[in-house]
Structure 1
């Protein structure tokens, strides 16, 4: 059903809505003039009575609704201006202005919805009314001019066809009216008071619009006047316009050259400033939520602009250097891995991933990266509405995929996750929604991932027997104490040898002296061993006897992602700390287990990258001590604090320097230098220098796809 004016758009009161009203009002005025001409023509009296009611009643209702709408629109504009002008230190006036604005907005929405309903009903009804009158007119003439029956009889088939069309139009008009009244009622019953900001801005990804909505802009003239304008972020620019038909005025030509910050040193509330090398623009939102949304949108657009520019430069560099030989081929294979189509092919090869995880639609092109599943476009939209703390959605064809994320997707898959989140679906007699059933899908997906109704909630409250807990805790504590007494270099060797002896990566026997030597690829870089090569977990108890936090803790060391997903589904705290093992977290256990993809899985599900154990060591400390270069790179990218010191006063850089690990020292110094550059230039929230990003991208590639290239330090340690 196509409506003349959209109900949702009228709630935003956008320039599009005002332009649509202007067009409809002109159309109705023209219709009234034409009908008046027919009514006053004495030769058309046979249809006068039929159209008289339409002109007097329906058009009169439209005019009355228009007057009310114009009146309340003016009241809303006055309330907005008054709310913006009130000074922050006059609390009584602030509360009064806020209450008036809330009441005025509520009244505006009711009247605007009534006005739009009246417009749409009028536009739908006029076709049937006029056609009905014309048909009556023709039948009247047929009866009056009986002598001309032969002539008019030729019009019989045509008139019958018009009658059939009229019947269909009447039915369609009645149906459209019911649907519009239902939509009108549904929208009117919604409670927008709790999240009023959603109505104040719009996002149109199809047209490249990141965000748009009304803002007050302070003029650069001597009077510093404030004007309300329609702003939008699009095509790497910040623009505004006074009316919908006006050409946009560019405020910021290139977002990469600007920064955004809160502004609390002026009397007006909810202000923020966009600063570029040539000028600054002071803007004011209608609420604190809107201000935060605009600041976040500008910051995200700045980061996106940097990434897009970097990708374009990389492509130009490849085209301009055709004779780089093997280096080009290596870069080509790296780019191929990151391209969306390659990601789609690799991820869809995983069992169950060829169809949507929730509705079964074939060839899904979207994914939830923290769950490790593939989704159709409709289900992906529902997942986005759940919030990123439940599901983080990414396109398999449009987005660039980091290698650790791609491998994370390949470690899980729809079959694995559905065995956990749909364990009780058949027992409960619930059928999965089919493609196209939007409401059923929303209810099913919310019950599945938010309420977790279909998870088999077996008892996990009983803890392990005390004796076995003490044995496990004592063994781990002895291992930690023996390592902590050594120097950084010796600690690294002892940790690596311990991980080798625990059969994490297998033990190689030297052919000449029979000593245990480190494998060519140690556990930090042997990221995806087959199931049979993973650590023997017989020392751990049956997971059904563990609480979810402890199950997640142990599965993280075992590199068992399905068990980790199961623990999270049962409500495990991703930052659970084991009080019997130095308050180590699952993320620290993942570091000790030597798996990059396990760390990535925990981080994607909200693990705190800076949470430390009782020795003051966080994941970055442990990864540095163990020489896990790939994990160090990952934690730095995810915001790890490299300035944090342990109980001995050592930060990760000092540990890496003492251990003479050149790769990790390079990464830490680059990250520190990039951080200092961004702080000195005021580029907060931006990704940093392109060279810095390229180096970290290369390390991520090697850690995931060529771990042997990061094995130089471990191989050198065998010589001593």
Structure 2
């Protein structure tokens, strides 16, 4: 089992598996050699059991031949195996004629094999232990170095120690493999050579066995030639070791000083540190692989299962700036979630990001060439015409490339495929990327585009860009993806090019958004969101209302804008009302439908007994049209749950009021008479809530989500709130008892 230099350098799990196999084979080899030596010693000491011990000795030889049979791959080595078989047979024949040669056996066989075991094999074993220790030291130094905050005094020292340990670890790995190979190759001739020497001694001691041994003499001569050739292979291995050490040293230095060419590369392997989840956050070193447009990792050579598989289609990757650790990057996938990884140097980080982006671009390009249905093509052509008619949208908003076919549905801008990767890496909280040719944009999104567009957005985000330097700073369509990505990061994430008049603190932006929504000012609302306003901020000075509450009396297009920025439509204000309650108050059927279809969440319980869920609230106000819409859009089983809503202090599930029972019976009768449209409305695929709750939310609006199917989720109060309510009730009961006792 040969291990080449590339495997040694990479140190992959497959290499570790081969290394462990070599080490295990050495253990077994030592066992057999020790058996041979032991039986030979017994052969000397126990002459009376000579024949029996001799048979064991021969069996050990045959066992040894079976052991190395798989390693004898060449014709010369197979002849060596045949000689071992013949050797055993001759010893078996001459076993009873060797009583006077016991001392010679010790000198010619036992001592050299002991030297081999205690010398070469022991050295290989010690090298293995040293390699294990250096592996542990390397990982510790890497963790210590990577965990050192940037700018600390001991940063350079830890870095130097880390790099020295890496180089020493690599050299020790090579030495270990070399020693194991040396033991294996030397073993092929050492044992046979000693046995041949014993046979030479037998010729002089046992004349009566001369004929038998004489027949084997030609084979002995052939074996000598074979041994010389195998010895030559062993000697060349030692020469190659020196050359490989020099090559590896140059390779280590070269890999740290030069940039790898990953512009077109689609595959990559290597060790990365992975941030684990759970209660205790930790960093674990795993072997990661990018292959067939998938990212996965392997725990170790003992567990080769492909774990954490993540399709790179619709994924995004970016440098992580939120962590204080160096060389970190994030990979996000809507299905698999977020993966935070760390490499050992900046060049490796850049290389991983480059390869991931190459795969994403390839997948998107391949999908773009697929055939679409006639209806889809017609729709997309209409969409493109609508977008291109908006001022500035016929060219990429960032590099000016003609006919862009990608867009951001929350920013209302269009861009080319090169810039789409950079926008995807910004994260959906900044830019929601969609394809103008692969995705079908809703009419509401198109209306949002008409109110935004490339020119308007650039007037904001490039408002402070010096016209004289604009051509030098802003990329053009011929610039590399890397240049475009850096510019897009500066423009959208860091907002480096906006005018001073747009720069506001977070609280002012939040108030600006709320004020704009109340005034139905789309442009001002969009501006505040682009600049970083929180769509879920609640005004504690104004009854805890949020933008979603205020939009009820505003333009429906502003609600679409808030939706594209992931607004939470389930926040409660100081009156225990959600936005849907105000839509019911105003009989705003358009916004009611949009709210029901957007998140499909129903707030079913509250610690306040005055709270009514949306359906109960509509029943109380006798909003007939609202009730009909809700019955069409909400499944029947959920309507029943809404009718039977109980508050936190009503712990007995059987204590449902007669009024609720009557309502349920009435609703059953109404549903049986018609309304079979429910199923058609309820099978729409609605995206799940991102749960972007603001820290300013009151305690009354805390909740947990329970998926009950049909795309709907019932939102209930948090357990801690329930326990608080129970404690308050117990305290009131105690106070009442004390009052009664005092009155008595």
TM-score by length of structure 2 reads: 0.41
TM-score by length of structure 1 reads: 0.43
Higher-RCO chain (CA-CA 8 Å, sequence separation at least 6) = 1
Higher Rg: 2
